[in-house]
Structure 1
Amino acid sequence: MNLDYIIPNNWSILEEGFEPTHVKASESLFSIGNGAMGQRANFEEKYSGPTFQGSYIAGVYYPDKTRVGWWKNGYPEYFAKVLNAPSWIGINITVNNEQLDLFACKDVKNFHRELNMKEGWLSRSFVATLQNDIEVEVKTKRFLSLDLDEVGAINYNITPLNSDAEITFEPYLDSGITNEDTNWDDKFWDTLKVSHENHQAFIEAKTMKTDFYTCTFMESEVFIDGKSVLIEPDFTSDANLASFKYTYNVKQNETYTIHKFGGYTVDRDHEKNELVSAAKATLDKAKTAGFSKLLDDQKQAWAQIWDMADITIEGDVKAQQGIRFNIFHLNQTYLGTDETLNIGPKGFTGEKYGGSTYWDTEAYCIPFYMATKDQSVARKLLAYRHNHLQKAIENAEKLGFTNGAALYPMVTMNGEECHNEWEITFEEIHRNGAIAFAIFNYYRYTGDFSYIPEMGLEVLIGISRFWHQRVNFSSQKNKYVILGVTGPNEYENNINNNWYTNYIAKWCIDYTLETIEKVKEGYADDYERILGKTKITHEELALWKKVADNMYFPYSEEHNVYLQQDGFLDKELITVADLDKSQRPINQKWSWDRILRSPYIKQADLLQGMYFFEDQFTNEELERHFDFYEPFTVHESSLSPCVHSIQAAKLDRMDQAYTFYLRTSRLDLDDYNHEVHEGLHITSMAGTWMSIVEGFGGMRVKNDTLSFEPKIPAQWEGYSFKVNFRHQIITVSVSQNETQFKLEGDKDLTIYVDGKEVAISPNNMVTV
């Protein structure tokens, strides 16, 4: 059963009423982050019910030794895990020596939780009756600062309603934490030192194996009815814990408040021996500013983000809430300030997928960051892959490839492959193609070719060398084939001639050959440097071209469509509509054996290729393939509905496009795949943005300029979005009757709307 307790609202995620069965899901949905760290929405006070505790630091991971039943040559030694970091948010609360614990209270009423996406904070309020019959009202607010990204702040208020009470706040740090996701129950953290000074406490710890050194810190102050109270707290500690106790006799209806500042300093940003002093400096800044000023700064920082990234939808609150939820979490996860970081599929909301980098970044996220931020942010994501090129070459060498062939990892933290399912590690090689496509897509959108001679061409050469070596020549077909692969549709493993893989391999080689010539003609010094480094020869390039020109693509004359793979028509072609609903989702109801023999498609596969390379196919071809494959697609990957939404809009099937849009935008809010308790689907959220901008807005780059084919769902009165195109910001506003374009910048811009040329001038609205 899908979640239905999240209240529709334009700017907030809202929950009313305390329901323990919703706690884990809400911990995911209400997660907060600031690009440098993040945390699930765990309660500050003790909670003895089922919970998934999670605090995470960007770039800090552990190489959890691979666990498989049968070791195969080429297997990664480990699966990198994002780590549940030492926790700083905890505040134990006792009322007349009775611990506040919502799971143990006699009664909880007026429970309200809000994630305010406009201003970037999380709040809760409730009235609880403890076992000792004291009734208290609690109001909390918490955020992770965008300006001081090493620090977070908590404002926790408690008011006794039916009597005076002795109340103790016990803010604490805890490094005795574990991961939900672990292969061998290893100890991930080694606590080095617990210390305190005045009202500040510090836990210095390092990760095992990877030796990331961290300092988790906190400082607190308390108030009565808003006035500061000087209490000398009791400090206690053990090997993994540091806590202060602030006890006060609170009168009935008085409000006792604690402001707690906490966070992390990490040796990725500071010297190992300066982590505590850096923490003190950060705490001093936070304490000097105070909770209210930090919150005002937070609101301002989010206002700047929303000014560029917001998409407005009129007349459909659920659709509006969905897109803002997606945009909000993308910005909580990655802000483009550090090119050593990337975007994990769960961001800071859970541990599934290890928190590592997948092909999702290149296929889905880069378009969002290119258009809603400065292009330098997308360039950093591309630089991340170039910085890992040597590791990609080593990954290929482990599988027997030579001569600088590069296979980028399916999953990585540091450029090294760390995924240990053979059908993905060895076979889902299409990820190489997404990285090459992102280089092409970046240049197409930004017009910045400089990345390619500086970094990108070396990446393209390594990828093309891989494709050249990965093909087989079939004398039977008189074509080059690619055997033993898994495409984006992971419900077909170890198949031959996956159309998407074959097509993107051919495209990569053709694009690399074209790019080599362009660099040779216009960037002679870079060309000579790359030539010297890669030892590329004309003979090698000729062999590549032979492969690209003679690639095999499975095709059905009967159905007049390309086939997903050689054996697709051998399956029993029962559509999803004829599948018993009780069997869904099939990945939770069926054996893997049964799934692999079925025709069901986890995510857009062949249609993914037609999305990437739509200029190379007619609308009639797209329609034919969409009509053939969509009925077999179960969309059990978060990456699937957005592509179908974009293509349905292109085919003028707006009801279908709208249904897919709602599914992608509310995938987590409505828990379509029954797994939101594990964390959110961060990378697919960029696909939601694409489903509006590229789907309904019809935005493309054609002939070096922006082109739009605006459409609008019948359910909406209007929608608008902004894109930053080559340092000029265009606002697009679509209603049921017209589309308006407004340009910010200092020069005119020519765009195309429904194929017709339209000139727009700065600050001059144009209506089409």
Structure 2
Amino acid sequence: MDKLWNVELKEYNSNQNRKYETIFTLANGYRGIRGAIEFSKVGERGNFIAGVFDKNTAQVTEIVNCQDPLVFNIYVDNELVDIDKANVLDFNRTLDMKNGILYSNYKLELKSGRIVEIKTERFVSRKNVHRWAAKYTIIPVNFKAKMFIENIIDGTVVNSAQDPAWLTKHFEVVDALDLKPGIALKTRTYDNKIEIVEATKVLSKDEHGNVFKIRKYAKLGERVRELYEFFVEEGKEYVVYKYGVTYTSRDTKEELFAVAHKELVDFVNEGYEKEKEEHSIVWTKLWDGMDIKIKGDDTAQVGIRFNMFQLASSAYADDPRVSVAAKALHGEGYKGHVFWDTEIFMLPFFVYTNPEVAKSLLMYRYNTLDGARRNAQLNGFKGAQFPWESADDGMEVTPKWGVDYDGNPVRIWTGDEEYHINSDIAFGIWEYFRATKDEEFLINYGTEILLDTAKFWNSRLEYNEKEDRYEINRVIGPDEFHEHVNNNVYTNYLAKWNMKKALEVKEWLKEKDFTKYETLCNQLGISDVDFKEWEDKLNKIYIPMAKDGKLIEQFEGYFDLVDIQITEYDENGMPVWPDLKGYKLHETQLIKQPDVVMLMLVLGEEFDLESKKINYEYYEKRTMHKSSLSPSMYSIMGLTVGDTQNSYKYFLKTILTDLEDNQGNAGHGLHAASTGGSWQSAVFGFGGFSVDENEVPNFNPWIPDVWEEFTYTINWRGSKVVVTVDKNDVNITSEKDIDVKVYGKDYRVEANKKLVVSR
């Protein structure tokens, strides 16, 4: 295997199990299985199926940790193979990102002195999302004995197993089934009564046929198991295949046991190797449209591929009722909720590499639009107010209480005040349309969201008669250190943009499909009177600025706060808390992440280079990076304003967020927004890709000295575009004729011909 496609772990430390369960998670958009070691009881196993949510006794609705189908125990006589009780003679785990397969090798000396070697591989199919499988090669190194293989589906699983205050069970076991051979367990969630069936089967053959001699089946409380007994000879290899199938009542109206059983039989008949091969073919196609190649920097190469692999694993195009959560399908962190992260950080990756998935993610917002309208109504506003944290129906599910950095109870206000999510979604719609020109989507779905979010902002604006301006008060921006602020610039500027874009698009719709335009106006209760009101108001929305007009004030009164700057950094290069000199955090200018810098990246064409440079330099000294979203933004903006040294540093921080656990919480699940930020840092930052006000692709790349060559691929309006940057030239090829700008000059790239521009 090529090391540049692999994430490898060579030493075992049970204290690191949760972290590597996240890193080695295998997912396909439909489901995610955390990368647990079958032969360890230490960690936090997870089986997450997109769209399966429940509340029951939890604080809020959250993703369900479903019954665990991964349990696979080996006994030598009656001695359990347990890595935490054995002497580890050899250990290696390797995630093959090129093919989406997790390999593990263990050589263990049991307490009895017996030495057993186990080689495993596991995949969660991209070809058929309902299938997953594992292969175990078992070698009795220095003994012959009776061996037992125990296959279990465990229905005792709970959520928040590491947090006794919120320990919750989200399903009841309905039934178990003996598939003879194979087992199945059906569960049902408490609130929405979603049924889930996991079915598994283990098989082992050698040159003489079936290896197993005796089979026993049992339902043991909330667990179902089958046990196989056979005899092993010293030094001989024994191969055991485990086939798995998953279905829920979200997938079909047919009886689930019957559907799962048939699928399992078909899977076994087709065979492990065939499914693995077809799964790898899907990954080959995915990589063909998204791979980034970095020559000369192995750390950057493996890091960027890890981020793309896990983000691409977290979504698929066939279920428009689900989106990518903040921790993806990799853990219970943030309760499986969907945030603004999806549209601002993750969506661009899919827009420019896999537009069908991007469309599906936006359709999730359309399919939860009724919930957003209900949120607005409950809060006394009009239109649609998308939730800060979203689950399955678009209603607000942000917890009301959490803990601060010292473990003290603290009220969470984001669900009440972080309104900018509306504009983030609106921007995502526009970015998708701009890159794809998918008129059907904008006509039938996107325009409705743009209009209803604009209608919300119109109702949320507050008129300041004294200043003759419109304000948005008592809000939280992306910098969540400062709550209840007035006129946050990120919120206000994007609200203005949202309203303006809605007015532009409704004019476009009027020309394209007048009947649809009239239908939407009727449905949403809006007319030319409303549009005139929006236009009048948006031109008076207050944007806080410094007196010189270049430095933007993050929110009204921010510059009056105590100015404490960062002077020290830890071993990961992350800021160390400075002495607050007795002040509370919200009384200082220290920020969690940079609202102003983020705004200038989202709407880059609206700010000149000098403004970007001034704001980057000011806010960089005051940003604590207490969000994994933050470093990627500084990496991109640093390249824009010429701070190349720090840009590379921030890029490495971003791509290594989970691999080096520089936020300290990788065990909770993937930092999915950071994976999207990694791609943006590479493509928008070093690749210099942007789209100007005339919707022309711009390329202004810069690469570090350590990079010999840098290549990335994007999809622009149905054409695959490949950009390669080396020490001397920028090379661009496209499947179709396209007009581009390179370093500010106009060029035409002819289909399948290389454009070469000197750097």
Superposition TM-score, scaled by structure 1 size: 0.93
Distance (whole Å) between structure 1 residues aligned to residue 509 and residue 208 of structure 2: 65
Spell out the pairing of 1:246-261 with structure 2 (5 A cutoff): 246-261=228-243
Among candidates 666, 669, 678, match of residue 659 of structure 2: 669
1:569-606 deviations in whole A, cap 9, x for unaligned? 23221222257989977799999983323322212211
- What letter corresponds to residue 175 of structure 1 in structure 2? G
Q: Mark the CA change 1:581 to 1:163 in structure 2 (over 3 Å): closer, same or farther.
A: closer
> Which residue of 2 is the match for residue 498 of structure 1?
488
Are 1:31 and 2:13 matched, yes or no?
no
1:155-181 deviations in whole A, cap 9, x for unaligned? 112211122122111111111111126
> Which residue of 1 is the match for residue 273 of structure 2?
292
1:529-563 deviations in whole A, cap 9, x for unaligned? 11211221333222222221111122222795111
Among candidates 164, 169, 192, match of residue 144 of structure 2: 164
Aligned partner of residue 60 in structure 1, secondary structure: strand
Q: CA deviation at 1:127?
A: 1.1
> Which residue of 2 is the match for residue 438 of structure 1?
428
> Which residue of 2 is the match for residue 91 of structure 1?
72
> Which residue of 2 is the match for residue 117 of structure 1?
97
Aligned partner of residue 58 in structure 1, secondary structure: strand
> Which residue of 2 is the match for residue 363 of structure 1?
344
Aligned partner of residue 255 in structure 2, secondary structure: helix
Contact between 1:460 and 1:508, CA under 8 Å: does it hold in 2?
yes
Are 1:658 and 2:648 matched, yes or no?
yes
Distance (whole Å) between structure 2 residues aligned to residue 415 and residue 587 of structure 1: 37
Contact between 1:224 and 1:255, CA under 8 Å: does it hold in 2?
no
- What letter corresponds to residue 284 of structure 1 in structure 2? V
1:422-466 deviations in whole A, cap 9, x for unaligned? 410011001011011112212221223332332222212221121
Aligned partner of residue 229 in structure 2, secondary structure: strand
Distance (whole Å) between structure 1 residues aligned to residue 683 and residue 442 of structure 2: 26
Aligned partner of residue 271 in structure 2, secondary structure: helix
Provide the aligned length of Structure 1 versus Structure 2: 743
Q: CA deviation at 1:214?
A: 1.2
Q: CA deviation at 1:82?
A: 1.0
> Which residue of 2 is the match for residue 53 of structure 1?
45
Contact between 1:169 and 1:246, CA under 8 Å: does it hold in 2?
yes
- What letter corresponds to residue 764 of structure 1 in structure 2? K
Among candidates 386, 396, 414, match of residue 417 of structure 1: 396
- Larger mean CA deviation between 331-340 and 593-602 belongs to 593-602
1:298-344 deviations in whole A, cap 9, x for unaligned? 22121111111111110001100111001100121102221111101
Contact between 1:32 and 1:38, CA under 8 Å: does it hold in 2?
yes
- For structure 1, list consecutive stretches of 5 or more residues without a partner in the other structure: 1-6, 68-78
Distance (whole Å) between structure 2 residues aligned to residue 513 and residue 591 of structure 1: 48
Are 1:132 and 2:128 matched, yes or no?
no
Distance (whole Å) between structure 1 residues aligned to residue 386 and residue 358 of structure 2: 21
> Which residue of 2 is the match for residue 716 of structure 1?
707
Distance (whole Å) between structure 2 residues aligned to residue 666 and residue 591 of structure 1: 33
1:643-695 deviations in whole A, cap 9, x for unaligned? 21111111222212111111111111111111111111123211211111111
- What letter corresponds to residue 419 of structure 1 in structure 2? T
Contact between 1:722 and 1:730, CA under 8 Å: does it hold in 2?
yes
- What letter corresponds to residue 622 of structure 1 in structure 2? K
> Which residue of 2 is the match for residue 741 of structure 1?
732
Are 1:680 and 2:662 matched, yes or no?
no
Among candidates 169, 177, 184, match of residue 202 of structure 1: 184
Q: CA deviation at 1:9?
A: 3.8
Distance (whole Å) between structure 1 residues aligned to residue 302 and residue 5 of structure 2: 6
- What letter corresponds to residue 34 of structure 2 in structure 1? R
- Larger mean CA deviation between 179-188 and 316-325 belongs to 179-188
Q: Mark the CA change 1:164 to 1:578 in structure 2 (over 3 Å): closer, same or farther.
A: closer
Q: CA RMSD in A?
A: 2.4
Spell out the pairing of 1:595-610 with structure 2 (5 A cutoff): 595-610=585-600
Distance (whole Å) between structure 2 residues aligned to residue 290 and residue 491 of structure 1: 54
Q: Mark the CA change 1:305 to 1:288 in structure 2 (over 3 Å): closer, same or farther.
A: same
- What letter corresponds to residue 20 of structure 1 in structure 2? S
Distance (whole Å) between structure 2 residues aligned to residue 592 and residue 582 of structure 1: 27
- Larger mean CA deviation between 330-339 and 530-539 belongs to 530-539
Q: Mark the CA change 1:482 to 1:303 in structure 2 (over 3 Å): closer, same or farther.
A: same
> Which residue of 1 is the match for residue 717 of structure 2?
726
> Which residue of 2 is the match for residue 40 of structure 1?
34
Q: CA deviation at 1:763?
A: 2.4
Distance (whole Å) between structure 2 residues aligned to residue 488 and residue 120 of structure 1: 34
Aligned partner of residue 621 in structure 2, secondary structure: helix
> Which residue of 1 is the match for residue 510 of structure 2?
520
- What letter corresponds to residue 214 of structure 1 in structure 2? I
Contact between 2:321 and 2:392, CA under 8 Å: does it hold in 1?
no
Q: Mark the CA change 1:667 to 1:753 in structure 2 (over 3 Å): closer, same or farther.
A: same
Aligned partner of residue 122 in structure 1, secondary structure: strand
Are 1:143 and 2:123 matched, yes or no?
yes
> Which residue of 2 is the match for residue 71 of structure 1?
none
Are 1:155 and 2:135 matched, yes or no?
yes
- Larger mean CA deviation between 439-448 and 665-674 belongs to 439-448
Q: Mark the CA change 1:653 to 1:508 in structure 2 (over 3 Å): closer, same or farther.
A: same
Q: CA deviation at 1:128?
A: 0.7
Q: CA deviation at 1:247?
A: 1.5
- What letter corresponds to residue 541 of structure 2 in structure 1? M
Distance (whole Å) between structure 2 residues aligned to residue 466 and residue 593 of structure 1: 36
Q: CA deviation at 1:64?
A: 4.7
Q: CA deviation at 1:184?
A: 4.5
- What letter corresponds to residue 219 of structure 1 in structure 2? K
> Which residue of 1 is the match for residue 461 of structure 2?
471
1:56-110 deviations in whole A, cap 9, x for unaligned? 112111125564xxxxxxxxxxx221111111111111112111111111x1021
- What letter corresponds to residue 418 of structure 1 in structure 2? V
- Larger mean CA deviation between 664-673 and 160-169 belongs to 160-169
Are 1:330 and 2:311 matched, yes or no?
yes
Distance (whole Å) between structure 2 residues aligned to residue 148 and residue 537 of structure 1: 47
Distance (whole Å) between structure 1 residues aligned to residue 570 and residue 126 of structure 2: 47
Q: CA deviation at 1:239?
A: 2.8
Contact between 1:88 and 1:263, CA under 8 Å: does it hold in 2?
no
Identity across matched positions, percent: 29
- For structure 2, list consecutive stretches of 5 or more residues without a partner in the other structure: 401-411
Contact between 2:544 and 2:556, CA under 8 Å: does it hold in 1?
yes
Q: Mark the CA change 1:493 to 1:66 in structure 2 (over 3 Å): closer, same or farther.
A: farther
Q: CA deviation at 1:387?
A: 2.0
Contact between 1:428 and 1:486, CA under 8 Å: does it hold in 2?
yes
Are 1:643 and 2:633 matched, yes or no?
yes
- What letter corresponds to residue 303 of structure 2 in structure 1? G
> Which residue of 1 is the match for residue 155 of structure 2?
175
Distance (whole Å) between structure 2 residues aligned to residue 64 and residue 204 of structure 1: 18
> Which residue of 2 is the match for residue 345 of structure 1?
326
> Which residue of 1 is the match for residue 756 of structure 2?
767
1:614-633 deviations in whole A, cap 9, x for unaligned? 11110001101111111111
Distance (whole Å) between structure 1 residues aligned to residue 55 and residue 4 of structure 2: 41
1:211-254 deviations in whole A, cap 9, x for unaligned? 11111101111235896425341112223111111112211111
> Which residue of 1 is the match for residue 10 of structure 2?
16
Are 1:380 and 2:339 matched, yes or no?
no
Among candidates 400, 423, 433, match of residue 380 of structure 2: 400
Q: CA deviation at 1:8?
A: 11
Aligned partner of residue 171 in structure 1, secondary structure: strand
Q: CA deviation at 1:351?
A: 0.3
- What letter corresponds to residue 718 of structure 2 in structure 1? H
Contact between 2:214 and 2:230, CA under 8 Å: does it hold in 1?
no
Contact between 2:653 and 2:662, CA under 8 Å: does it hold in 1?
yes
Superposition TM-score, scaled by structure 2 size: 0.94
- What letter corresponds to residue 675 of structure 1 in structure 2? N
